[in-house]
Amino acid sequence: MAENVALIAGARGICGRALVEHLDDDPAWEVIGISRGPKDFSAGARFIALDLLDRAACEAVLGNLSHVTHVFFNAVTRPSTAAQKAEEALAILVNLIEVIEPVAANLKHVQLMQGTNWYGSHLGPFPTPAGEDDPRMMPPNFYYPQHDWLVERRKGKSWTWSGLRPHGVYGFSSANPVSHLNGLALYGAISKELGLPLRFPGRPGHFERIYQFTDARHLAKGMVWAATSPGAADAAFNFTNGDFQRWCNLWPMIADFFAIPAGPVQTIPLAAMMADKEPLWAEMGRKYGLRETQLADLVDWGFNERIWATEFDQLSSMNKARKAGWTGVVDSAEMLLRLLGEMRETRIIP
């Protein structure tokens, strides 16, 4: 019997899936995933189909998971307003913890996946390098009610909590079109198919400013580190690859990957310009023997358009994690080439 039992909420998503895959071959861990949809990748983990917004369903399905030792909370809903998102974020966490905690006698840790949006990076410039204790932004911010509720709930309990704040998580999930990686990979593949150079489609300032990435696999190692290291207990940590980059430095390398020239910046409204590309994608699928996918399932172009429009530095300090014992680092340029290569090997892109 495994020493640890991980209950991973959001197990089909970019972050959750990376953790499922990371723990898959580890005999010290049994893994149980939660999502509404079915497991859509190969892993030994048992998946439970559950809508965490449905309290009665949580009670019916989770009440017998008495052997869970660690909860990794990576689920996120995507309603249209920030206020509704904050409300739902709290509801899905409360529905899970209030059901699991009383039955899981050996519960050791509950971890929240947060992000640089904690500092308001999705809204505009924020003080950099961001530190974990920086003043909060004007609410609503969906991370805050989850965080405050969990910290309060932990008081007087034997289990501990942690929070991780990655930025720009690069990993694959076929269940989430809000994906940095898919947007980059499909934009490159379509540019090549149309005989175009790889022009940067975002704003000039984004091309030049400092950016930071988080490799989903690296994040998965960090999740386990934060959940099992006494020095990381009851704290939140920024969590990135640990290097900084600029798209202008990376762009020639990405163009090389697609074997096309690196073009200059040409800002385009991606969502509008890609709206007619579904037939082209279907044709490319037949021509190159790709896995059968719909563009709309893989990419939310509006997301990439928003991300690539931000014209300010995005930096988080990793000092707190390092002082607490985290030593990992990923070269973001190598990460991009590896992930694009994997998308080619798995026949998502030509």
Ligand X SMILES: NC(=O)c1ccc[n+]([C@@H]2O[C@H](COP(=O)([O-])OP(=O)(O)OC[C@H]3O[C@@H](n4cnc5c(N)ncnc54)[C@H](OP(=O)(O)O)[C@@H]3O)[C@@H](O)[C@H]2O)c1
Asked whether 170 and 216 are in contact (CB, 8 A), the reply is: yes
Q: How far is the CB of 143 from ligand X (least distance, A)?
A: 7
Reduced to 3 states, what is the DSSP secondary structure of residue 268?
Answer: coil
137 binds ligand X (CB under 6 A): no
Listed ranges 5-13, 148-156, 247-255, 325-333: which one lies at the site for ligand X (CB under 6 A)? 5-13
Check residue 287 and give left, alpha or beta (phi > 0: left; psi -120 to 50: alpha): alpha
Q: How far is the CB of 279 from ligand X (least distance, A)?
A: 27
Pattern 152-171, binding to ligand X, x per CB under 6 A? --------------xxxx--
Residue with token string 């974990």: 132
Q: Which is nearer to ligand X, 75 or 184 (CB)?
A: 75
Q: How far is the CB of 166 from ligand X (least distance, A)?
A: 5
Q: How far is the CB of 334 from ligand X (least distance, A)?
A: 19
| Pairing state between β 160-165 and 198-200 | unpaired
Token representation of residue 145: 């009610």
Q: Give the residue among 141, 49, 150 at the shortest CA–CA distance from 94.
A: 150
Measured between its terminal Cα atoms, the distance across the chain in Å is 42
Which of 173, 240, 245, 293 touches ligand X by CB under 6 A? 173
Token representation of residue 307: 């991300």
Q: How far is the CB of 147 from ligand X (least distance, A)?
A: 11
Pattern 60-79, binding to ligand X, x per CB under 6 A? --------------xxxx--
Which of 52, 90, 198, 232 touches ligand X by CB under 6 A? 52
Q: Which is nearer to ligand X, 45 or 113 (CB)?
A: 113
Q: Is the dihedral of CA 227, 231, 235, 240 positive or negative?
A: negative
146 binds ligand X (CB under 6 A): no
Compute the C-alpha angle 325/76/188, nearest 5°: 85
Q: Rounded to an integer, what distance in angstroms lies between the CA atom of residue 313 and that of residue 263?
A: 23
| CA-to-CA dists, residue 253 to 244, 247, 340, angstroms | 16, 10, 11
Listed ranges 7-15, 126-134, 261-269, 278-286: which one lies at the site for ligand X (CB under 6 A)? 7-15
Pattern 11-50, binding to ligand X, x per CB under 6 A? xxxxxx-----------------xxxx------------x
Tell me phi and psi for residue 198, to 5 degrees.
-85, 85
206 binds ligand X (CB under 6 A): no
Q: Rounded to an integer, what distance in angstroms lies between the CA atom of residue 174 and that of residue 348?
A: 10
Q: How far is the CB of 346 from ligand X (least distance, A)?
A: 17
Residue number, nearest CB to ligand X? 13
Angle of helix 278-288 relative to helix 180-193, nearest 10 degrees?
Answer: 80
Reduced to 3 states, what is the DSSP secondary structure of residue 60?
Answer: helix
Residues 93-132 close enough to bind ligand X by CB under 6 A: 113, 115
314 binds ligand X (CB under 6 A): no
Count, residues near ligand X per rule CB under 6 A: 31
Q: Rounded to an integer, what distance in angstroms lies between the CA atom of residue 319 and that of residue 347?
A: 39
177 binds ligand X (CB under 6 A): no
Listed ranges 4-12, 225-233, 262-270, 288-296: which one lies at the site for ligand X (CB under 6 A)? 4-12
Q: How far is the CB of 37 from ligand X (least distance, A)?
A: 3
Q: Kindly list the residues in this chain that would bind ligand X in the complex (CB under 6 A).
A: 10-16, 34-37, 50-53, 74-77, 92, 113, 115, 166-169, 173, 175-176, 178, 180
